[in-house]
Structure 1
Amino acid sequence: MLGSKGAAIFAALLLLITPLAATAQDVTLTSRDGGVEITGTLLGFDGEFYRVDTVYGELTVDGSGVTCEGPGCPNLLDFVAEVDFSGSSTMAEVLMPALLEGFALRNGYRVRRSNLDETHVDFFLSDGQTQKTLARFGFRVTTTDEGFADLLADEADIVLALREIRPEERTRAREAGMGDMTDRNRSRVLALDAMVPIVSPGNPVKAISMPDLAAAFSGKITNWADLGGPDAPITLHLPDAGSGLAQAVEDRLLRPVGAVLPDDVVRHRVSSALSRAVTTDPFGLGLVSFAEVGNARMLTLTGSCGFTLEATRRTIKTEDYPLTSPMFLYMPARRLPKLAREFLGYLRGPAAQIVIRRVGFVDQAPEEIPINRQGDRFANAISSAGEEVTLDEIQRMVSTLRPMTRLTTSFRFETGSTRLDAQSRSNVEQLARAIEAGVYDARSLSFVGFSDGEGPAPANLEIARRRATAVRDAVTAAAEAVTPGRVELKIEAYGEAMPMACDDSAWGRQVNRRVEVWVK
């Protein structure tokens, strides 16, 4: 950033490098003392700072320290803040408009929608009293792939994504001077969703295992009879290939078992069309957003050990459901207009969480689950007790947890890694902010580690304890403003004592490896 006080220093540096730029482009910024000129193409103006593409690269310049000349200069009196979003149609068509309406209502703005074409929508925010237009929020309703492409082409400020940024996209963004898009200030989990298998209401199949779901979507199981249904071919339905949800299916369901999608998958541009098609297809099997199931029927996930996992708001929030799918915002290392920054700040608050929940997605606000609402989990613990985990250990766990309630805030790790997954990294920030705000003052938070059942029980117990300690330390480091003694942060570990899913698959083992938060 170039402030007015730094204009002289910056001018000196430029003069040491090369004479003043002489190539005429669409703007020339001149310091108040006339000592430096910056000529280039105006990329943006947020009401305070200019962002200019120059021969020295992209520069951000404090508008109070310069004057602007040229055809690209903005009108300072009638400035309208502009921010462009591109990406997931699910987010652009449903979630973001609802959040903009909530933000406008909270701040006394009026919202006007303008449909430019099939894929471009603008929302204009105006002052509720003067009717003066203050901001334009533009949305390109497309796919996660296209969202990242628009960002790299400098045609979008923020990406709406239903998957994490891929390594090649991260590298190209860094090379383009956008910073590391995985940093905490560059990426954010906006809301939670999940991929859920759906069938027609008349289909007799009620449940499916994760291995069978992967086998069906890789073309290895092609008949419903193999899943306990009628002797009929399975028709597979997915969103468009470039959509984040479809790519998440490949990344998280198929790639771990070395499988790929067959060629005869029926594709749909939006999830709502997918769910309608499966509803009327008696032999259809689809994977769709939890928020857009419609009149189709969700299948419960099951395993050979008898445990079942159903997609609900609570199991998605805790990540107990294995196919959770966070909804991301990705932002490059550049300054956004003040009104856009205020909107992003609103998205972190409790008012936005209410809006997210009302439109059918899963919010991130922590909830407390009393122990008497967790009967299935403790039944799993009892049924899996044996030589490795004794009944005494189960009784110790129940005795410790009985006076507490479980938070929906949970932590899980990337496959084969000690790094927290994306949703859990967001949970670290959410929990730290809640602690800083005094939500848990004079209370005790216990970070409780669990493991899968592979390997010796004592080793698993120690691994679970180390993970719980690591999560506690990460939350402590993030809650910088908390004074010692306000909240008690404890560590507990029970290893493989309370499995959530069967250990017979990589998905089940990943669900079982977790750190829960219990509060007293």
Structure 2
Amino acid sequence: MRLGGMEVTGEALGFDGTYLRVMTDAGEVTLDYRGADCEGPGCPDPATWVPELRLSGAARLGELILPALVEGYARSRGFLATRDASVPDEVDYVLSDGEGGPAFARFAFRLTTTEDGIADLIAREADVAMAARTLSPDELRHAGAAGLGDLSRPGRVRVLALDALVPVAGQGQALSRLSLGDLADMLSGAVADWSEIGGTPAPVRLHVASDDSGQLQGVARRLLGRQGRIGAETVPHPDVAAAGAAAAGDPGGLALLPFEAPGLGRPLTLEGRCGMTMPPRSDAIRAEDYPLATPLMLFLPERRLAEPFQDFLAWLHTTDAQLVLRRAGVLGLQAVPVPVAEQGERLAAAVASAGPEVSLSDLQSLVGFMSGRVRLTPTFRFEGGRAELDAVSRSQVVNLAQAILDGAHDGRPLWLVGFSDAVGPAADNLALALDRAEAVRRAVLQALGGSLPEGVVVNVLAFGEALPIACDDSSWGRALNRRVELWTGAE
């Protein structure tokens, strides 16, 4: 390709309508295609070119959720979305302006797993990876080495929805509760029989689905460490329904199933070793207060996308997109109220944990604040050991900013309320919780362009360790307790 007095030779990797990406001997370069003289089979013709977005990865996203979002996007913009079944092993959609109109965009979904989607992204066989878990340090390192940038950074991750895995036992199992520590020991193989944790005697058999998409792998890594190596006896099945049915009929069966598809087995309520329970309710999953919540997300490398795909990604934060997610059977990021009347377990835990550093006066202040106000499900947490919001929280900030711009919170003040774990002096934890609440407020203001719209008030407050939602005896429990909640005045 010749551009001015410069000549570039290499493999064309992608075109966004204005810029062409080329892999040269010196690496990947992006060139302005306007006025360029290009020769070879990879040279696009802007007059006939139809941009394509190749998405590869978790079938949980590519089979139903993203196709539904593409169709919803087309409806909201007045376009026609046509499903194209001509490509084997893919789900493709073509967008046009209407019946008989020319196509102007194509979405191509390759249904595999999170791991394969990241591999396709690194191999430049995909433009976007669909993931049902966060990426491992090795995956992030390989992506960076391949020139994709840091996929953990803001702008590289788009969280679409929240899902969760629920532990399910065989119908004959007497156990109804399971601690996170015991679940971790069962997954690792350290507990090989249910009787070792007080259950009905039977060898532990983990029933797994081949179309898990990476959710189990993500939870295993969270509970077992970076490698997430499962050592339990496993029984493979073709899909989630088969795994759930087999676990239900197996006296020693254990399965971790999606929240919306728990099967016929015996659901096990999770609890910490301090006795605090964590049931898989939809509000707890939306707030990521449930420890086995799993984000459904997209990973995008540092490259330009064609205008239709930029518009689609921006549309994902709208109310219309959240309605599509609800119809698709997953929990979106929209704010859902959690009235104080439904928070009895949290208040009971606060009373039980009161002591020398959390006084009766502290609890009275907390209850006084909660009275007449409503918690909203968006909850903000930070990367472990860092002052940076995690991927889900960054998406929650964008959604909250959009809701503010849309007028969803006009006339009612908002509060960002910081909480902490109970490790260390209570006064220090209170200060840290307030710092985190201030950091979230700054992030929201930045997303709004630096200032709040007229009539919108966002206050900050902190109660430190006064309202635990998990036990502090594990790193995961402490991470759940370190949070910033969103509250508003009751209607």
TM over 0.5: yes
Q: Aligned partner of 1:310: which letter?
A: P
- Give me the whole-angstrom Cα distance separating, in 2, the residues matched to 1:151 and 1:259: 22
**Residues 101/512 of structure 1: CA separation in 2 closer, same or farther (3 Å cut):** same
Of residues 442, 448, 470, the one that matches 1:473 is 442
- Give me the whole-angstrom Cα distance separating, in 1, the residues matched to 2:16 and 2:394: 30
Structure 2 equivalent of residue 104 of structure 1? 74
Of residues 378, 390, 402, the one that matches 2:371 is 402
CA contact (8 A) 1:367 1:408 kept: yes
Deviation at 1:416, TM superposition (A): 3.9
Q: Is the deviation greater in 224-233 or in 210-219?
A: 224-233
CA contact (8 A) 1:278 1:296 kept: yes
- Give me the whole-angstrom Cα distance separating, in 2, the residues matched to 1:91 and 1:397: 40
Structure 1 equivalent of residue 202 of structure 2? 232
TM-score under structure 1 length normalisation: 0.86
Of residues 39, 51, 59, the one that matches 1:81 is 51
- Give me the whole-angstrom Cα distance separating, in 2, the residues matched to 1:456 and 1:72: 63
**Residues 37/201 of structure 1: CA separation in 2 closer, same or farther (3 Å cut):** same
Of residues 153, 171, 190, the one that matches 1:183 is 153
- Give me the whole-angstrom Cα distance separating, in 1, the residues matched to 2:86 and 2:42: 26
Structure 2 equivalent of residue 21 of structure 1? none
Deviation at 1:37, TM superposition (A): 4.2
Instruction: Determine whether 1:150 maps to 2:128.
Output: no
DSSP-derived class of the 1:103 partner:
helix
Structure 1 equivalent of residue 102 of structure 2? 132
Instruction: Determine whether 1:173 maps to 2:143.
Output: yes
Deviation at 1:248, TM superposition (A): 0.9
CA contact (8 A) 1:205 1:228 kept: yes
Q: Aligned partner of 1:446: which letter?
A: W
- Give me the whole-angstrom Cα distance separating, in 2, the residues matched to 1:285 and 1:416: 33
Gaps of 5+ in 1: 1-27
Q: Is the deviation greater in 202-211 or in 328-337?
A: 202-211
**Residues 280/114 of structure 1: CA separation in 2 closer, same or farther (3 Å cut):** farther
Q: Is the deviation greater in 409-418 or in 230-239?
A: 409-418
Instruction: Determine whether 1:265 maps to 2:240.
Output: no
- Give me the whole-angstrom Cα distance separating, in 1, the residues matched to 2:304 and 2:476: 40
- Give me the whole-angstrom Cα distance separating, in 2, the residues matched to 1:116 and 1:282: 43
Of residues 357, 379, 383, the one that matches 1:388 is 357
CA contact (8 A) 1:210 1:507 kept: no
Q: How does 1:211-360 map to 2 (within 5 A)?
A: 211-239=181-209, 243-255=213-225, 260-262=229-231, 264-268=233-237, 270-360=239-329
Structure 2 equivalent of residue 193 of structure 1? 163
Deviation at 1:246, TM superposition (A): 2.9
Deviation at 1:406, TM superposition (A): 0.9
Q: Aligned partner of 1:514: which letter?
A: R
Structure 1 equivalent of residue 334 of structure 2? 365
The structure that has the greater radius of gyration is 1
**Residues 281/242 of structure 1: CA separation in 2 closer, same or farther (3 Å cut):** closer
Deviation at 1:316, TM superposition (A): 0.8
CA contact (8 A) 1:86 1:147 kept: yes
Q: Is the deviation greater in 407-416 or in 71-80?
A: 71-80
Instruction: Determine whether 1:445 maps to 2:414.
Output: yes
CA contact (8 A) 2:192 2:232 kept: no
Deviation at 1:67, TM superposition (A): 4.2
CA contact (8 A) 1:89 1:141 kept: yes
Q: Deviations over 1:132-163 (max 9, x none)?
A: 33332212211111111111111000001122
Q: Deviations over 1:179-216 (max 9, x none)?
A: 22222222111111122212244543322111111111
**Residues 180/455 of structure 1: CA separation in 2 closer, same or farther (3 Å cut):** closer
CA contact (8 A) 1:469 1:491 kept: yes
- Give me the whole-angstrom Cα distance separating, in 2, the residues matched to 1:420 and 1:213: 28
Of residues 419, 432, 453, the one that matches 1:463 is 432
DSSP-derived class of the 1:64 partner:
coil
CA contact (8 A) 2:418 2:463 kept: yes
Structure 2 equivalent of residue 50 of structure 1? 20
**Residues 242/52 of structure 1: CA separation in 2 closer, same or farther (3 Å cut):** farther
**Residues 296/351 of structure 1: CA separation in 2 closer, same or farther (3 Å cut):** farther
**Residues 179/509 of structure 1: CA separation in 2 closer, same or farther (3 Å cut):** closer
- Give me the whole-angstrom Cα distance separating, in 1, the residues matched to 2:95 and 2:69: 13
Q: How does 1:495-514 map to 2 (within 5 A)?
A: 495-514=464-483
Of residues 340, 343, 364, the one that matches 1:374 is 343
- Give me the whole-angstrom Cα distance separating, in 2, the residues matched to 1:297 and 1:460: 39
DSSP-derived class of the 2:167 partner:
strand
- Matched residue pairs, number? 488
Q: Aligned partner of 1:469: which letter?
A: E
Structure 1 equivalent of residue 84 of structure 2? 113
- Give me the whole-angstrom Cα distance separating, in 2, the residues matched to 1:135 and 1:210: 46
Structure 2 equivalent of residue 164 of structure 1? 134
**Residues 477/123 of structure 1: CA separation in 2 closer, same or farther (3 Å cut):** closer
- Give me the whole-angstrom Cα distance separating, in 2, the residues matched to 1:151 and 1:304: 41
Deviation at 1:484, TM superposition (A): 7.1
Q: Aligned partner of 1:92: which letter?
A: G
Structure 2 equivalent of residue 23 of structure 1? none
Q: How does 1:483-502 map to 2 (within 5 A)?
A: 483=452, 486-502=455-471
**Residues 343/269 of structure 1: CA separation in 2 closer, same or farther (3 Å cut):** farther
DSSP-derived class of the 2:293 partner:
coil
CA contact (8 A) 2:81 2:93 kept: no
TM-score under structure 2 length normalisation: 0.91
